[in-house]
Amino acid sequence: MGDTATFEYRLPSLGADMDEGRVIEWRVAAGDTVHRGDLIAVVETEKSDIDIEIWHDGIVEEFLVDVGELIDVGTPIARLRRLGDDPVPRAQDSRDQEQPSESRGRVDVEGFTVVQGQGRVLASPLARRMAAERGLELASISGSGPGGAVVEADVLRAGAAQPSPPATQPPARSAATMRSAIAERMSRANREIPHYHLARDIDVGALKMWLDQRNAARSISERLLPAACYVRAVAVAAARHHDLNGFWIDDHFEPASAVNVAMIISLRRGGLVAPHIERADQRSVDEIMVALNELVTAARTGTLRGSWLTGSTITVTNLGDTGADLVHGVISPPQVALVGFGRALPRPWVVNELVTVRPVMTATLAADHRATDGAIGSRFLATIADELEHLTLLEQSERT
């Protein structure tokens, strides 16, 4: 590049199966000073519209792509001038060019902060566009979304006075396009990753009782779901068994320095997203519940942030009580493990040499055999079982 006083901001990969996207709105203008974590653009992917953040301080010099132009991941979209002593953003400059987009996951893991709106009206990209189409001022609409963000329902309400066609769905992304993106991605995972699969039945009777008692004593908005406990258990296990928390890059395993647990959320209009809870191992089960709620709400309302989709270090899929008994998952590269939780069902279970009936849930691990062997996977699942059967850390996090 030569000119070290400037750097290019490239279209990040906002999920393992994203290969291309388009900038549909700039949040900054040429000449603006931006700081790490600022939202600079809205990017449309096959799955949803996502706010993307800048990782480094700088002054926007020039936009390098047009709004609406379809571009590949890694394409420079803006050139910025460095600010004074900002560390050289080498990760953005060089790695992007040399490596497949997924590799950047590791680089991006550290130091993510989810920024809240900065003086700007918080709104989902869809709501923003709908408001613009209807000639409504965003600031005049009261938001009911996360953090008071204006979501489409708010725009619809605000615009109810004026007749307009119902725009209750995000802009039609062809289901076939999304399907083919997932197909390509999953084919690659199956082609490149030698999976091994382990399963372990876990007695969740004590967990259920603990949740029932805890939830009965709490207001509805503070209640916990089993999913929060599962994520907590995975985070604890991932922090303990480093070999399953990280990335397979360039023929070797790179452990991640943080535990960012992604949760697969299926979208009812088709497809799925897997945003993560950053540093989940540092959070109590209550904090994880709040974060999960935030992710699901954002996924449903199209307000996911780019930082939730990059840098995931391990993934969880929870089938829920209406789902199947167990899942043999497919890992999302470059991660090396996916943990699945089946539905909890009353099953015969032996306690003290007597057969009794307990609610039992099957946890599974899909792991990359290049990175680990079954013995490590077994110990990982044993840690999860221990957490969920003995509530060790759940109760600890309650006391602290």
Partner 1 sequence: MSTHPPVSDPVAMVLSAIAEVAPELEPELADLDPDVDFWLELQLDSMDHLSIMTRLSEQTGRDIPERDYPRLTTVNSICSYLSGPGT
* Residues of the shown chain interacting with partner 1 in the complex, contacts defined by CB under 8 A: 144, 151-153, 166, 168-170, 212, 215-216, 219-221, 223, 225-227, 267-269, 292-293, 296-297, 300-301, 320-322
Strand 261-263 relative to strand 314-318, pairing: parallel
Smallest gap from Cβ 135 to partner 1, in A, equals 21
3-class SS shares of the chain: helix, strand, coil, % to 5: 35, 25, 40
Question: Which one, 69 or 321, has the nearer CB to partner 1?
Answer: 321
Question: Which one, 153 or 206, has the nearer CB to partner 1?
Answer: 153
Q: By C-alpha distance, which of 199, 252, 196 is closest to 369? A: 196
Question: Which one, 6 or 297, has the nearer CB to partner 1?
Answer: 297
- Order of strands, edge to edge, in the sheet holding 20-26? 49-53, 39-44, 20-26, 70-72
Q: Which amino acid is at 199?
A: A
Smallest gap from Cβ 169 to partner 1, in A, equals 6
Start-to-end C-alpha separation, the chain: 51
Tokens of 193: 């990753």
How many Cα atoms occupy the beta-carbon half-sphere of 42 within 13 Å? Answer: 17
Smallest gap from Cβ 306 to partner 1, in A, equals 21
Question: Which one, 38 or 152, has the nearer CB to partner 1?
Answer: 152
* DSSP class per residue in 159-213: TTTS------S-S---HHHHHHHHHHHHHHHHHH--EEEEEEEEE-HHHHHHHHH
Query: Which secondary-structure segment (H or E) carries 235?
Result: helix 226-240
Backbone dihedral region for residue 295 (phi beyond 0: left; psi -120 to 50: alpha; all else: beta): alpha
Smallest gap from Cβ 148 to partner 1, in A, equals 14
Cα–Cα distance measured from residue 216 to residue 229, given in angstroms and rounded to the nearest whole number: 17
Coil, strand or helix at 237: helix
Question: Which one, 111 or 171, has the nearer CB to partner 1?
Answer: 171
Smallest gap from Cβ 152 to partner 1, in A, equals 6
Smallest gap from Cβ 284 to partner 1, in A, equals 18
Smallest gap from Cβ 211 to partner 1, in A, equals 9
Question: Which one, 68 or 147, has the nearer CB to partner 1?
Answer: 147
Cα–Cα distance measured from residue 385 to residue 317, given in angstroms and rounded to the nearest whole number: 16
Tokens of 99: 């490596």
Smallest gap from Cβ 113 to partner 1, in A, equals 24
**Sign of the Cα pseudo-torsion (43, 46, 49, 55, in order):** negative
Question: Which one, 118 or 174, has the nearer CB to partner 1?
Answer: 174
Strand partners, 25: 42
Question: Which one, 77 or 289, has the nearer CB to partner 1?
Answer: 289
Smallest gap from Cβ 268 to partner 1, in A, equals 6
Question: Which one, 219 or 352, has the nearer CB to partner 1?
Answer: 219
Contacts from 174-179 at CB under 8 Å and sequence distance 24+? Answer: 175/269, 175/270, 175/271, 177/46, 178/46, 178/47, 178/270, 178/271, 179/270, 179/271
Question: Which one, 161 or 216, has the nearer CB to partner 1?
Answer: 216
Smallest gap from Cβ 119 to partner 1, in A, equals 26
